Amino acid sequence: MQQVKNGDTVSVHYHGKLTDGSTFDSSEGRDPLQFTVGSGQVIKGFDDALLDMKIGDKKTVQIPVDQAYGERRDDMLMEYPKSDFPADMQPVVGLELHMSDNTGNVFPVVIADVKTDVVILDANHPLAGQDLIFDLELVSIG
Protein backbone atom coordinates (compact mmCIF):
# COMPACT_ATOMS: atom_id res chain seq x y z
CA MET A 1 0.00 0.00 0.00
CA GLN A 2 1.25 3.50 -0.90
CA GLN A 3 2.83 5.58 1.86
CA VAL A 4 3.05 9.38 1.96
CA LYS A 5 6.33 10.90 0.76
CA ASN A 6 7.47 14.44 0.02
CA GLY A 7 5.88 15.74 -3.18
CA ASP A 8 2.64 13.76 -2.75
CA THR A 9 -0.65 15.66 -2.82
CA VAL A 10 -2.68 14.45 0.15
CA SER A 11 -6.12 14.98 1.65
CA VAL A 12 -6.26 14.95 5.45
CA HIS A 13 -8.93 15.37 8.07
CA TYR A 14 -7.53 17.02 11.18
CA HIS A 15 -8.45 18.33 14.61
CA GLY A 16 -5.99 20.88 16.01
CA LYS A 17 -5.82 21.45 19.77
CA LEU A 18 -3.69 23.37 22.23
CA THR A 19 -2.03 21.52 25.11
CA ASP A 20 -4.92 22.59 27.39
CA GLY A 21 -7.26 20.57 25.14
CA SER A 22 -9.02 23.54 23.54
CA THR A 23 -9.67 23.30 19.79
CA PHE A 24 -8.20 25.98 17.51
CA ASP A 25 -9.16 24.45 14.14
CA SER A 26 -10.77 21.36 12.66
CA SER A 27 -11.83 20.03 9.28
CA GLU A 28 -14.94 18.48 10.86
CA GLY A 29 -17.98 19.21 8.71
CA ARG A 30 -15.78 20.39 5.83
CA ASP A 31 -13.82 18.85 3.00
CA PRO A 32 -10.44 17.47 4.08
CA LEU A 33 -7.40 19.72 3.81
CA GLN A 34 -5.56 19.12 0.54
CA PHE A 35 -1.92 20.12 0.00
CA THR A 36 1.44 18.93 -1.33
CA VAL A 37 3.65 17.39 1.37
CA GLY A 38 7.00 19.13 1.79
CA SER A 39 6.00 22.22 -0.20
CA GLY A 40 5.78 24.58 2.78
CA GLN A 41 2.00 24.97 2.54
CA VAL A 42 1.56 23.77 6.15
CA ILE A 43 3.77 23.93 9.24
CA LYS A 44 6.79 21.62 9.26
CA GLY A 45 5.53 19.41 12.08
CA PHE A 46 2.24 18.77 10.24
CA ASP A 47 4.13 17.87 7.04
CA ASP A 48 6.52 15.55 8.88
CA ALA A 49 3.70 13.80 10.77
CA LEU A 50 2.15 12.61 7.51
CA LEU A 51 5.27 10.98 6.09
CA ASP A 52 4.89 7.19 5.78
CA MET A 53 1.16 7.26 6.62
CA LYS A 54 -1.16 5.10 4.48
CA ILE A 55 -4.72 5.88 3.38
CA GLY A 56 -7.05 5.35 6.34
CA ASP A 57 -4.27 5.72 8.94
CA LYS A 58 -5.09 7.84 12.00
CA LYS A 59 -2.68 9.25 14.54
CA THR A 60 -2.26 11.97 17.13
CA VAL A 61 0.92 14.04 17.09
CA GLN A 62 2.29 16.74 19.34
CA ILE A 63 4.11 19.43 17.38
CA PRO A 64 6.60 21.52 19.35
CA VAL A 65 6.61 25.29 18.92
CA ASP A 66 9.78 25.24 16.76
CA GLN A 67 8.02 23.00 14.19
CA ALA A 68 4.77 24.97 14.40
CA TYR A 69 4.60 28.78 14.30
CA GLY A 70 7.76 29.49 16.31
CA GLU A 71 8.23 31.49 19.48
CA ARG A 72 6.48 34.81 20.00
CA ARG A 73 8.83 37.61 18.92
CA ASP A 74 9.01 41.08 20.44
CA ASP A 75 10.17 42.47 17.08
CA MET A 76 6.73 41.59 15.72
CA LEU A 77 5.18 44.24 18.01
CA MET A 78 4.96 47.70 16.49
CA GLU A 79 3.75 51.11 17.53
CA TYR A 80 1.27 52.77 15.22
CA PRO A 81 0.20 56.40 15.71
CA LYS A 82 -3.35 56.63 17.03
CA SER A 83 -3.84 59.70 14.83
CA ASP A 84 -3.38 57.49 11.72
CA PHE A 85 -6.51 55.46 12.50
CA PRO A 86 -9.70 56.55 10.71
CA ALA A 87 -11.62 59.11 12.76
CA ASP A 88 -14.66 56.83 13.01
CA MET A 89 -12.64 53.86 14.28
CA GLN A 90 -12.07 53.25 17.97
CA PRO A 91 -8.98 51.03 18.51
CA VAL A 92 -9.79 48.25 21.00
CA VAL A 93 -7.49 45.55 22.41
CA GLY A 94 -8.07 42.25 20.60
CA LEU A 95 -9.36 43.80 17.35
CA GLU A 96 -7.85 42.12 14.27
CA LEU A 97 -6.77 44.39 11.43
CA HIS A 98 -5.00 43.86 8.13
CA MET A 99 -1.96 45.86 7.12
CA SER A 100 0.26 45.82 4.06
CA ASP A 101 4.03 46.10 3.80
CA ASN A 102 6.07 48.11 1.28
CA THR A 103 5.68 45.37 -1.34
CA GLY A 104 1.89 45.11 -1.02
CA ASN A 105 1.80 41.88 1.01
CA VAL A 106 -1.20 41.92 3.35
CA PHE A 107 -0.84 40.44 6.84
CA PRO A 108 -3.05 40.29 9.93
CA VAL A 109 -2.25 42.17 13.15
CA VAL A 110 -4.07 42.31 16.47
CA ILE A 111 -4.30 45.37 18.69
CA ALA A 112 -2.29 44.36 21.78
CA ASP A 113 -2.46 47.67 23.70
CA VAL A 114 -3.94 51.14 23.34
CA LYS A 115 -1.92 54.00 24.81
CA THR A 116 -2.47 57.75 24.78
CA ASP A 117 -0.86 58.48 21.40
CA VAL A 118 -0.02 55.05 19.96
CA VAL A 119 -1.57 51.65 19.44
CA ILE A 120 0.61 48.55 19.88
CA LEU A 121 0.02 46.09 17.04
CA ASP A 122 1.05 42.44 17.29
CA ALA A 123 1.97 40.72 14.01
CA ASN A 124 2.88 37.38 15.62
CA HIS A 125 0.84 34.44 14.37
CA PRO A 126 -1.96 33.81 16.90
CA LEU A 127 -0.51 30.32 17.59
CA ALA A 128 3.11 31.51 17.97
CA GLY A 129 4.65 30.27 21.20
CA GLN A 130 2.31 27.27 21.41
CA ASP A 131 2.93 23.54 21.19
CA LEU A 132 0.14 22.04 19.07
CA ILE A 133 -1.62 18.67 19.05
CA PHE A 134 -3.23 17.28 15.89
CA ASP A 135 -5.48 14.27 15.42
CA LEU A 136 -4.85 13.27 11.79
CA GLU A 137 -6.64 10.95 9.36
CA LEU A 138 -5.15 10.40 5.91
CA VAL A 139 -8.01 10.35 3.38
CA SER A 140 -6.14 10.14 0.07
CA ILE A 141 -2.77 10.31 -1.67
CA GLY A 142 -2.40 11.60 -5.21
Hey, where are the domains in the chain? 9-70+127-141, 74-122
Give the pLDDT mean for 14-28.
97
**pLDDT the model gives residue 44:** 96
Question: For the purposes of burial, counting CB atoms within 10 Å of the CB of 88, is it exposed (0-12), middle (13-18) or buried (19 or more)?
Answer: exposed
pLDDT at 1 over 90: no
pLDDT at 40 over 90: yes
Task: Note the pLDDT tens digit of each residue in 112-125.
Answer: 999 999 999 999 99
Give the pLDDT mean for 37-52.
96
Instruction: Tell me which architecture the domain covering 9-70+127-141 has in CATH.
Output: Roll (3.10)
Radius of gyration of the chain (CA): 19
For Cα atoms 24, 27, 29, give the angle at the middle one, nearest 5 degrees. Answer: 120
Name which of 41-45, 46-50, 98-102, 112-116 the model is least confident about.
Answer: 98-102
pLDDT at 102 over 90: no
pLDDT at 101 over 90: no
**pLDDT the model gives residue 23:** 97
Instruction: Tell me which architecture the domain covering 74-122 has in CATH.
Output: Beta Barrel (2.40)
